[in-house]
Each structure stands twice: as C-alpha cells, then as structure tokens.
Amino acid sequence: MKTVRDALAAFALLGTGLAAEAAAEDPAVRHLAVRGTRLAFTASGAGEPIVAVHGALSDRRVWRRYAPLLSQSKRFIAYSQRYFGTEDWPDAAKDFTREAHVADLIGLVEALEAGPVHLVTWSYGGEVATYAMLRRPELFRSAVHFEPSLGALLAEVEGGAQAQARFAATLEPAVEALSAGRSEAAAFLFIDAVFGLPAGTMAREPEPAPTLVRDNARTLGPFLRMAPGAALSCADLAALDAPVLILRGEHTQARYRLAAEAMAACLPRARLETMVGAGHDGPYWAPEDFAAMIQAFHAGLP
C-alpha cells in the first residue's frame, strides 16, 4: 500500500494540471430540491447507490477521484451539503446547523428514491451520517466512515476530554485569524491543524486542494458557531444494525483515533481498520487505497 507521502509526491509532479483534469472528468453537476434548498450533486455508474458525504471546509468535489474507482459496479453519488461548495447562499447561513445537514441527507436519499443506500463519509460527514442512520435506519444499507468526527461520543470515552482539549488548542490560530476577519487564512490554518500538518502546507499543495479550501472558507465561521451535536451514547449506537466499516489513519490525532475506536466498539456490526501511512487527510491523498478498502468491504456484505 502506498504511503501518504508517496501520494503527495505523485500529486506534486502533476502540479496545476490536476485542476484541468478535474474539470475534464467531473460528471455533470445536477441539482436536487431538498427541504427548501438546492443541493448540488454528481452521479456516475449504475447499480446499488453509494452516497458520499464530505467533511468541513469541503464539498462534493473532494470525491472527484472516487467516481471512476467506485462507479464500476455501483452508482456513485457525491453531493455538497447545504452552504458548502460554490452555490449562492439563499440567506446568511441562518440554517447552518447539524440538524439541517442530517435532515438534508435523509431528504436527499428520499428524493433520489434510491434507498437503501451505502454511505461513504469523511470526518464531519461521518457525524451527519451517523445521526441520519439513527433516525432513519431503513434508508441506509451500510456505511464506511473515515475518522467520523463524533465529538459527542467522546464525552464518555476515557481520555476523550483531554483529546478534545488538545485538538481545540491546535485550532486557536485559525480562530484568531477568523476573529481578525481573515477568513481565507483561517480556513487554511484550520485544515492544516485538522490534518496535523505544518501551517501553510495546504496553501502550497497542487490543485484542487487550495481551491476547495478557498471556496469553502466562508463556511468556517458558521461551522465553528454551530451548536454541538445531540448527546450520543454507546447504547444509542448499539441500536444500529447496519454493517459499518470504520477507518482510522495510522498517524491521526488522538481525537479522531479515540472516536473511531469508541464507535467501532459500540456498533454491533462494525469493523475497525487502519489506513497505513495516513492521517486525517488520508482520503484526499490516497484515493486508490481508500477506494480499495471500500470495495473490499462491499464485496463481503451479505
């Protein structure tokens, strides 16, 4: 398996040509009316549907390299959550809430008339998906979560509070930049901190990473101001009967590692695996590796 640094080197050779490739290969963007808004999405392939749910400071484009990998035997659908991406905002982010994103995912699956669907998520997307699965389990056949950001679950995990505090400390430069009105700088500082990278790393990486961060910089303020997710216990998760694969990066931060391990221990049909050489940014830099783990998991489903 390639390491993240191998993938970084390969992308560096591609340089800005990656942006042109993205524009050429991205499936046609469509829109679906869901709960009073229009969600942008792309769809590729045919067969059982996979719905991909992105994390913070991101949108449907982060899954672009997964479309050719996962659409060979399934229908791969990637959408931008409310307020993320390049769509015009209908308001001043007044409905930028966890509840809205959870309800939107449910509404999207219902509107697609494609359920039950397989879910593939990353970070905050895993939080959104977990609450959606708890609310409407009949809509979801399985889930693959890469380091789901379940802060609410850490409240009952040994060492969880300390890990949360250490994580919050890494975000302080981003919060300070945001308070000073430097939203783009704050967005890059936030992503560097979450990925465990030196400040300034993502801004210097090849496209499309910098564009994704810049386009979603406006979401950082509303994202950080959101109320916490509803209380979530191990007993709550035990009610989910769908098969779930939870992945953690070999070099990830304690906050994500503990959440992944706790979630896997609570779910009755969960497997926990490690992506070698990866941190929280593994799905971006190593799409072939992540896609292969998803496909292997799907191949073993009943």
pLDDT at residue 1 in the model = 40
Structure tokens, 18: 């990656």
Q: Is residue 271 part of a domain?
A: yes
pLDDT at residue 25 in the model = 54
Kindly report the length of the chain. Answer: 302
Q: Is residue 21 part of a domain?
A: yes
pLDDT at residue 26 in the model = 67
Q: Is residue 256 part of a domain?
A: yes
If one counts the domains in the chain, the total is 1
Structure tokens, 86: 């390049």
Give residue 72's domain range: 4-158+230-299
C-alpha dist (Å) from residue 244 to 124, 202, 280 = 16, 30, 19
**Is the Cβ–Cβ distance between 256 and 248 less than 8 Å?**
yes
C-alpha–C-alpha distance, residues 210 and 205, integer Å: 7
Which residue from 135, 138, 133 is spatially nearest to 114, judged by alpha carbons?
138
- The amino acid that residue 136 corresponds to is R
Q: Which CATH number covers residue 106?
A: 3.40.50.1820
C-alpha–C-alpha distance, residues 78 and 41, integer Å: 5
pLDDT at residue 256 in the model = 97
Beta bridge partners of 79: 41, 53
Torsion of Cα atoms, 143 then 161 then 257 then 4, to 10°:
110
Q: Is residue 273 part of a domain?
A: yes
Q: Is residue 188 part of a domain?
A: no
Q: Is residue 185 part of a domain?
A: no
**Is the Cβ–Cβ distance between 254 and 159 less than 8 Å?**
yes
pLDDT at residue 111 in the model = 95
pLDDT at residue 21 in the model = 39
Q: Is residue 237 part of a domain?
A: yes
Q: Which residues of 14-53 are buried (b: 16+ CB within 10 A; e: fewer)?
A: eeeebeeebeeebbeeeebebeebebbbbbbbeebbbbbb
Q: Is residue 171 part of a domain?
A: no
Digit-by-digit pLDDT tens for the chain (302 residues) are 434 434 443 333 333 333 333 443 568 999 999 999 999 999 999 999 999 999 999 999 999 999 999 999 999 999 999 999 999 998 999 999 999 999 999 999 999 998 799 999 999 999 999 999 999 999 999 999 999 999 899 988 999 999 999 999 999 999 999 999 999 999 999 999 999 999 999 999 999 999 999 999 999 999 999 999 889 999 999 999 999 999 999 999 999 999 999 999 999 999 999 999 999 999 999 999 999 999 999 999 99
| Those residues with Cβ within 8 angstroms of residue 175's Cβ, 6 or more apart along the chain or in another chain | 186, 224
